[in-house]
């Protein structure tokens, strides 16, 4: 059973296929949450003034987005919480993350922050914290604010029971699909409930009373999990892999033991987990719809250059999936082929339908212990 903690990391460094060079989709979501982050920070400081603010970014990855989060928070605190005198940023991700790339770019970032804010910039300190956010990462009551962008759709593992005693009950697919037996959706949902509850429980212990979290992650609009926008997306990846199996370029056995460790929950499923876990109030929940191609800013009924979109989508998906695929299928060489085929599939799909990513943006507030 594949454990995400050991297997997942985005493509590191700053090269052409790296996450750092291919994370515009996620950048757009971070920019959309700017005002929600500003409000949340004002609220924490409105009740008790935190002179020394401790902030965690959970699943920070590496590249410009990690710095964008830090810089948005520095600006928000300088404008909205004048009594705060310093900030500690705790950057968390899984151990395979390219933390070095972040640390190596810090001095460049510091220069930029100085250019923007002058010498008046609030002192801030940055530390890396490797580990899974489905377990404890920080001491009790030590955080004031937690942020996590485009992460919580990742599960801690492929759901228990999908690869049952060596038999994959979801053969031919790599995520929930229209042809998956109904039990597959149920197993994915159960895993999501377990994981998201653990996440909330751990953060509630780490956050101070009244501490805030801003979370954004992929979800779905339909109540039926097999009609999720993300199912269509991963069907196109599965189709690329299956076509290579048919041509003898990939081992069938490998394909039959591969399932994606992620889940696109519905709004109701997310709310239900938060309510039954019980440590947080939902202050706000928004739904953002984002074109698959982050370079396509056209409306729904307008078709962007679909071949270009196929290429753009394949590039950012490769930056996320390449290490996971190579680990499972065992060879680097096939990756170019998979993503070339996936790009074609996306281009064809977008001519038929302009499917979107559905992103939930949540503002949560830790309940007071005696509430
Ligand atoms: C798509 S990236 C998003 C990165 C960044 N927050 C952004 O918005 O660009 C998802 C990140 O979540 C991390 N991640 C997934 N599961 C995690 C877990 N259980 N604990 C910590 N990080 C995790 C991945 O390693 C990856 O870096």
Phi and psi at 3, nearest 5°, equal: -95, 125
User: CA–CA separation, 133 vs 56, rounded Å?
Assistant: 11
Which pLDDT value is given to residue 340? 92
User: CA–CA separation, 64 vs 245, rounded Å?
Assistant: 36
Which residues contact ligand 1 via a Cβ below 6 A? 4, 8-10, 23, 26, 30, 59-61, 65, 92-94, 97, 132-134, 149-151, 154, 156, 320
Sequence spans of domains, the chain = 4-366
Kindly give the distance from the C-alpha atom of residue 102 to the centroid of ligand 1, in angstroms, as a whole number: 14
Q: What is the residue with the minimal CA distance to atom 27 of ligand 1? A: 61
- Map 316-353 to HEC letters: HHHHHHHHHHHHHHCCCCCHHHHHHHHHHHHHHHHHHC
Which pLDDT value is given to residue 45? 61
- The residues with which 358 forms a beta bridge, in sequence order, are 219, 289
Which pLDDT value is given to residue 128? 96
Which pLDDT value is given to residue 171? 83
| Ligand 1 atom nearest residue 63's Cα | 9
Please identify every stretch of the chain with a pLDDT value under 50, giving residue numbers as ranges.
Answer: 370-371
Would you tell me how many other CB atoms lie within 10 Å of the CB of residue 190? 14
Q: What is the residue with the minimal CA distance to atom 25 of ligand 1? A: 9
Kindly give the distance from the C-alpha atom of residue 150 to the centroid of ligand 1, in angstroms, as a whole number: 7
| Ligand 1 atom nearest residue 133's Cα | 20
Kindly give the distance from the C-alpha atom of residue 135 to the centroid of ligand 1, in angstroms, as a whole number: 14
Kindly give the distance from the C-alpha atom of residue 352 to the centroid of ligand 1, in angstroms, as a whole number: 31
Phi and psi at 361, nearest 5°, equal: -120, 120
Kindly give the distance from the C-alpha atom of residue 58 to the centroid of ligand 1, in angstroms, as a whole number: 7
| Ligand 1 atom nearest residue 61's Cα | 27
User: CA–CA separation, 359 vs 356, rounded Å?
Assistant: 9
Which pLDDT value is given to residue 230? 80
> Strand (E) positions, the chain?
52-58, 86-93, 124-130, 143-149, 163-164, 167-168, 207-219, 280-291, 356-366
The CATH number of 4-366 is which of 2.40.50.140, 3.40.50.720, 3.40.50.300, 3.40.50.150?
Answer: 3.40.50.150
User: CA–CA separation, 137 vs 331, rounded Å?
Assistant: 33
- Residue of 138, 154, 191 with the most ligand 1 atoms within 8 Å of its CB, for mutation: 154
Which pLDDT value is given to residue 82? 74
The per-residue pLDDT for range 154-206, each reduced to its tens digit, is 999 999 888 876 778 888 888 998 888 889 999 999 999 999 999 999 999 99
Which pLDDT value is given to residue 202? 97
Which pLDDT value is given to residue 2? 65
Kindly give the distance from the C-alpha atom of residue 82 to the centroid of ligand 1, in angstroms, as a whole number: 31
Chain centroid offset of residue 79 CA: 28
Would you tell me how many other CB atoms lie within 10 Å of the CB of residue 227? 13
- Residue of 23, 25, 30, 61 with the most ligand 1 atoms within 8 Å of its CB, for mutation: 61
């Amino acid at each position: 059973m594949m454990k995400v903690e050991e297997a997942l990391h985005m493509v590191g460094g700053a090269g052409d296929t790296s996450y750092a060079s291919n994370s515009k989709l996620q950048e757009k979501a971070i920019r959309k949450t700017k005002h929600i982050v500003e409000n949340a920070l004002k609220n924490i400081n409105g009740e008790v003034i935190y002179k020394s603010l401790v902030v965690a970014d959970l699943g920070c990855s590496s590249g410009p987005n990690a710095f964008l989060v830090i810089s948005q928070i520095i600006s928000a605190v300088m404008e909205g919480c004048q009594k705060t005198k310093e900030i500690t940023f705790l950057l968390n991700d899984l151990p395979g993350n390219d933390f070095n790339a972040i640390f190596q770019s810090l001095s460049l970032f510091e220069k930029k922050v100085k250019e923007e804010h002058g010498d008046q910039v609030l002192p801030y300190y940055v530390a890396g914290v490797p580990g899974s956010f489905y377990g404890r990462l920080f001491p009790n009551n030590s955080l004031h604010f937690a942020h996590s962008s485009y992460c919580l759709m990742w599960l801690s593992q492929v759901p228990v029971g999908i690869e049952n005693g060596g038999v994959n009950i979801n053969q031919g697919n790599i995520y929930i699909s229209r042809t998956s037996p109904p039990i597959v959706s149920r197993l994915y949902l159960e895993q999501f409930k377990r994981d998201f509850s653990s996440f909330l429980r751990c953060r509630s212990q780490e956050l101070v009373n009244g501490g805030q979290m801003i979370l954004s992650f992929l979800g779905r609009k339909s109540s039926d999990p097999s009609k999720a926008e993300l199912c269509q997306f991963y069907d196109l990846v599965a189709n690329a892999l299956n076509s290579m199996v048919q041509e003898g370029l990939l081992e069938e056995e490998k394909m039959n033991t591969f399932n994606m460790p992620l889940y696109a929950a519905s709004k109701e499923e997310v709310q239900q987990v938060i309510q039954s876990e019980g440590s947080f109030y939902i202050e706000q929940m928004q739904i953002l719809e984002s074109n698959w191609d982050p370079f396509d800013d056209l409306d729904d009924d307008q078709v962007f250059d679909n071949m270009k979109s196929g290429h753009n989508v394949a590039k950012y998906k490769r930056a996320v999936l390449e290490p996971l695929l190579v680990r499972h299928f065992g060879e680097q060489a096939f990756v170019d082929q998979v993503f070339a085929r996936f790009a074609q599939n996306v281009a064809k799909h977008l001519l038929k339908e302009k499917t979107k990513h559905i992103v939930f943006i949540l503002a949560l507030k830790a309940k007071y212990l005696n509430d």
